Structure 1
Amino acid sequence: MKASAFLYPWDVVGDPDAPARLAGLGVQQVTLASAYHSTRALTPRHPGHRIVTAEHAAVLYPPDAARWRGRTLRPYAQSWVAGQDPYAEAAEALTGAGLQVHSWVVLAHNSRLGAEHPDTSVVNAYGDRYPWAPCIAQPVVRAYLVDLAAEAAVRPGASGTELESCGWYGFAHLHAHDKTSGVALGDAAQYLMSLCFCADCRAGYASVGQDAEELRTAVRHALEPVWAGSGSGEQGWAGVEKLLGAGLADATRRWRDPVARALQEAAVAAVRAAAPGPDFQVLLHADPASYRTGANVGVDPAHILSTADGLVLPCTGGATAREAVLGPFAELSGVLAANFNVVSGMGGSPGTLESDAAHAASLGANELRLYHAGLASGPDLSAVTTALSAVRGG
């Protein structure tokens, strides 16, 4: 199985040993961030620093001035990695070590965009804005994201791209000093808290025959017992229907699913149009439950692989979770990359990677993704090296 490790440009820029160290893991590819959200990242092996603070969502290359001239929404430049084009510098070093490179593009997750342009954000049923979550139903947002996808994906040295958050984002967000766990929200309640009621979405609900105010009131009513008690453990689409009612739940999907599909189709088409040739791969970080929001956006399994070349699927969480994620794609063709967290300090399990990869392969996975080679400790990387050697031997 081909294996790729996620990496930030700042893990490579200024560290001449990084490319060889990555190649020594046994991976054939690196998935390198070209457009990323705000983060504070540990760099345990870099000779020049230990912490990088990416203060806001930004591109890690110089954006094309002509593309963005005169537009209200445009990508933000970064200032925390030295050089004019840290992505290109890192990609050149990695390819020089014999590694393939995919660009890693985060789309609908941008707190600075929401802070500076609040009208672009998702608005929940209570009127609260989520500045980290641009509403993909808004034409100006969709146009921005599609152009960002094309520009950030097709960077020098990249043989493909992996688009994260290419769909609805919502309530769940690892925000600075997040303090939202006082009331437990299961999968279903999180969906209700992720429904958007901005002007475009209110018009959208009306376009599918659902009064937006009736829906907003129903969402708030459905969540009242959650706030009054200790939360809700309802899971899956059946849980959404139990909380909201099947009819109203279906109405939300009649609006939201086509919006997400349209963004995915447009983003992939834009990347293909900008790509240097037909062999440039376009993958999406995804989840087979089409109502899901977040980094791994919900997709329709039967449709998405007729649009993209493949998917990166979250497979950390045990055999049952892997079966739920990979199972719907078992009979479909395309790249199915099983994504495993290999940072033990972040809940990953590098020590079980060999058996986990074998199980994922038995379910149809044909590639591996390892999150995250820059953040992992030395012992974590040693475990990855051992596991990948066994996978190759097997």
Structure 2
Amino acid sequence: MRAGTFVYPWDVVGDPAAPDRLADLGVAQATLASAYHSTRALTPRHPAHRIITAEHAAVLYPPDPARWSGRDLRPYPAGEWAPGDAYGQAAEALAGAGLEVHSWVVLAHNSRLGAEHPRTSVVNAYGDRYPWAPCIARPDVRAFLVDLAAEAAVRPGAAGTELESCGWYGLAHLHAHDKTAGVPLGDAEQYLMSLCFCPSCRQGYGEEGLDPDELAAAVRGALEPAWAGSPAGQLGAAEADAVLAWRVRTARAFQEAAVGAVRAAAPPGFRVLLHADPLPHRCGANVGTDPAHVLGLADGVVTPAASVAPFASHAGPASVIAANLQVVSGMGGSPRTLADDAKRAADAGATELRLYHAGLASTPDLTAVGDALRALG
């Protein structure tokens, strides 16, 4: 199977050996970040640094002044961690090593946006804002993110893009010095804590026949057992269906607009993939989708290897189902089982592999990745 790896511009810029090192792994594609959230990242082989601190969500290229002039919501340029056109420099170097470059665009995940524009954030049933999570139901947020998708995706030399967080974000996020694990929250609790009650979502719930104040009270009531260490309760069936209907409708509209904007800006043959989960209620980097809908909209998906089968069952002859495999041992990955994991993903219907993340991996991890890819042929 064709394999690609995620990479940051700062893994490449200033390290002349990086492009060939990645190509020598046996990957055909580099999925290169062009718009990314705040992070602290290790660069274990870079000749000039070992730790990069990206202080805020930023575009890693110069944003177009004509596109953003006079707009309240606009992308933030990067600081010293990715100055100038860091994306462009890295893309040129990677292409010079024979790698096909695709952009990697993070959309609804931006802590600085929420800090500077509080109205943009998801608000939970208790009234707490999530500044890292722009609410995609807000028209101004959606307009900003759709234009960001088009600009950040269609960079010079990119053959395609992979859109991350192209949908609802929620509670689950390692935010600064995160101290939220005192009460374990499972999938149901995470979902209830991720439901948004900003003005746009309150209006949306009303359009589905719900009273937003009563719904917020019902969410708080369902969560009450969780704070005492028991499983959360459930919303009533009618409430749950109406909430999910609003969120699915909103996410679909956003995804359709973002993909449409990318296609309008891109040359023929430009490939658009979404980072996706097959369960529509899921939030986060891999956004909840309906597999049939998303595969009818985009050219394919990037999804955790365990989630391949639901997408494969709806795939057409040209659909890309890229299984995302963690290959950094220190982050819970298993590079030494990559060959077996890739075969299982292929059996489930994966057509490609994505490896997270060659820039972060140790040298022994990269050696194991190269061995596995050569074994796979």
Cα distance in 2 for residues equivalent to 1:325 and 1:29: 20
**Displacement of 1:81:** 3.3
What residue identity is the alignment partner of 2:244?
Answer: R
Give RMSD over aligned pairs. Answer: 1.0
For the Cα contact (< 8 Å) 1:35–1:104, is it kept in 2? Answer: yes
Unaligned stretches of 5+ in structure 1?
235-241, 316-321
What residue identity is the alignment partner of 2:207?
Answer: S
What residue identity is the alignment partner of 1:34?
Answer: S
Aligned residue number for residue 279 of structure 2: 289
For the Cα contact (< 8 Å) 2:326–2:355, is it kept in 1? Answer: yes
Cα distance in 2 for residues equivalent to 1:325 and 1:196: 28
Residue 326 (structure 1) aligned to one of 309, 326, 346: 309
What residue identity is the alignment partner of 1:289?
Answer: L
For the Cα contact (< 8 Å) 2:312–2:350, is it kept in 1? Answer: no
What residue identity is the alignment partner of 1:73?
Answer: L
Residue 267 (structure 1) aligned to one of 255, 258, 262: 258
For the Cα contact (< 8 Å) 2:308–2:345, is it kept in 1? Answer: no
Aligned residue number for residue 389 of structure 1: 374
What residue identity is the alignment partner of 1:245?
Answer: G
Aligned residue for 1:185, secondary structure, equals coil
For the Cα contact (< 8 Å) 1:5–1:31, is it kept in 2? Answer: yes
Does residue 338 of the first structure (1) align with residue 323 of the second (2)?
A: yes
Unaligned stretches of 5+ in structure 2?
none
Aligned residue for 1:189, secondary structure, equals helix
Cα distance in 2 for residues equivalent to 1:41 and 1:34: 16
Aligned residue number for residue 86 of structure 1: 86
Aligned residue number for residue 209 of structure 1: 209
Aligned residue for 1:52, secondary structure, equals strand
Aligned residue for 1:196, secondary structure, equals coil
- Check 1:364–1:82 CA distance in 2 against 1; reply closer, same or farther (3 A cut): closer
Aligned residue for 1:30, secondary structure, equals strand
For the Cα contact (< 8 Å) 1:123–1:198, is it kept in 2? Answer: yes
Cα distance in 1 for residues equivalent to 2:314 and 2:283: 24
Cα distance in 2 for residues equivalent to 1:182 and 1:255: 31
Cα distance in 1 for residues equivalent to 2:311 and 2:56: 36
For the Cα contact (< 8 Å) 1:7–1:372, is it kept in 2? Answer: yes
- Structure 1-normalised TM-score? 0.94
Cα distance in 2 for residues equivalent to 1:197 and 1:73: 21
**Displacement of 1:80:** 2.3
- Check 1:86–1:300 CA distance in 2 against 1; reply closer, same or farther (3 A cut): same
Listed one character per residue, the Cα deviations across residues 173-203 of structure 1 (whole Å, up to 9, x for unaligned) are 0111111011011001100000000011000
What residue identity is the alignment partner of 1:329?
Answer: A
Query: Taking every aligned residue pair, what percent have the same amino acid on both sides?
Result: 71
Cα distance in 2 for residues equivalent to 1:159 and 1:95: 11
Aligned residue number for residue 43 of structure 1: 43
What residue identity is the alignment partner of 2:282?
Answer: R
Aligned residue number for residue 112 of structure 2: 112
Cα distance in 1 for residues equivalent to 2:356 and 2:260: 27
Runs of 4 or more, structure 1, over 6 Å off, are none
Aligned residue number for residue 311 of structure 1: 301
Aligned residue for 2:149, secondary structure, equals helix
What residue identity is the alignment partner of 1:379?
Answer: P
Cα distance in 2 for residues equivalent to 1:310 and 1:59: 24
Aligned residue number for residue 199 of structure 1: 199
Aligned residue for 1:312, secondary structure, equals strand
Residue-pair matches, total = 375
For the Cα contact (< 8 Å) 2:125–2:219, is it kept in 1? Answer: yes
**Displacement of 1:83:** 4.3
Cα distance in 2 for residues equivalent to 1:266 and 1:328: 21
Cα distance in 1 for residues equivalent to 2:309 and 2:102: 22
Cα distance in 2 for residues equivalent to 1:87 and 1:62: 9
What residue identity is the alignment partner of 1:80?
Answer: E
For the Cα contact (< 8 Å) 1:52–1:80, is it kept in 2? Answer: no
Aligned residue number for residue 2 of structure 1: 2
**Displacement of 1:245:** 2.3
For the Cα contact (< 8 Å) 2:53–2:81, is it kept in 1? Answer: no
Aligned residue number for residue 53 of structure 1: 53
Does residue 254 of the first structure (1) align with residue 245 of the second (2)?
A: yes
